[in-house]
Copies of this chain bind each other. A is one copy, B any other.
Amino acid sequence: MPVTDEAIDKIKGMIISGELAPGDRLPKEADLASRLGLSRSSLREAVKALCLIRVLDVRQGDGTYVTSLEPKLLLDAMTFVVDFHRDDTVLEFLAVRRILEPAATALAAQRMTEADIAELATLLEGLDESPTVEALVANDLEFHRRIALGSGNSVLCSLIDSLSGPTTRARIWRGLTQEGAVAKTREQHRAIYEAIAAHEPELARSWATVHVAGVEQWLRKTLGSAS
């Protein structure tokens, strides 16, 4: 095994064992390198890799720190991974989202506070008459993120967030805009909101299922005709 991979494992071990806690600063490059028995160059490769998955955070001129290691942070790195998938696997991701999102929405209908729900309403009404595609995407992302947050499970929230990469979502909205399906989608958002506001988990779950299934169906059709 290359020394760099060994270093990755050792640093991982130091964190898992508790020797390095979230927020702690690592020894400086030179010291850690000699301690792990490799050169600074090789150590830097290990550190860089752990940075990409948000386990470490290097600040030039300061030092290298262990991140908070919160699920949100680590799962965010998954967005990077999802970006690599092409259209043929997007449907599989969407199918998973179709499982998770209704469950999260039902939980949100049980757990969201009145304040949360009010914010959700503000969000829904925060779009102009004829919004740009960018605004639609941003609003859509935020709407679903708030609901996922409302489930009270940060792992679930991050997962849902990552599963539909921003790129995919943008493409979908562009397509919906062209077909004039924007109004229908916004109606579904409103229906989901109202079910949550009424604290009706099963209704909320159903609307969420309908919503995601609609997107899935549309995407399947589009991909089918394209190929």
User: 1/0 per position for A1-38, CB-CB distance to B under 8 A?
Assistant: 00010001000100110000000000000000000000
User: Are A99 and B89 in contact (CB-based, < 8 A)?
Assistant: no
User: Are A83 and B155 in contact (CB-based, < 8 A)?
Assistant: no
Set B45, B82, B89, B153: member contacting A95, Cβ < 8 A: B153
Question: Which residues of chain B come closer than 8 Å to A16, judged between CB atoms?
Answer: 83-84
Residue of B nearest to A90 (CB): B155
User: Are B55 and A53 in contact (CB-based, < 8 A)?
Assistant: no
Main SS class of interface, A: helix
Say whether A138 faces chain B, with CB atoms less than 8 Å apart. Answer: no
Of the candidates A41, A74, A99, the one having the most CB atoms from chain B within 10 angstroms of its own CB is A99
Of the candidates A12, A16, A155, the one having the most CB atoms from chain B within 10 angstroms of its own CB is A155
User: Are B100 and A96 in contact (CB-based, < 8 A)?
Assistant: yes
Question: Which residues of chain B come closer than 8 Å to A96, judged between CB atoms?
Answer: 100, 153, 155-156, 159
- Per the CB 8 Å criterion, the residue count for chain A at the interface is 41
Name A52-73 residues within 8 Å CB distance of B: 52-53, 55, 69, 71
User: Are B41 and A53 in contact (CB-based, < 8 A)?
Assistant: no
With A78-B78, A81-B74, A84-B12 known as contacts, the answer to whether A99 contacts B46 (CB < 8 A) is no
| A105, chain B: closest CB distance, angstroms | 12
Question: Which residues of chain B come closer than 8 Å to A82, judged between CB atoms?
Answer: 74
Set B12, B48, B153: member contacting A83, Cβ < 8 A: B12
Say whether A210 faces chain B, with CB atoms less than 8 Å apart. Answer: no
Set B81, B83, B93, B156: member contacting A77, Cβ < 8 A: B81
Measuring CB to CB, which residues of chain A are less than 8 angstroms from any residue of chain B?
4, 8, 12, 15-16, 41, 44-46, 48-53, 55, 69, 71, 74-75, 77-78, 80-85, 89, 92-93, 95-96, 99-100, 103, 153-156, 159
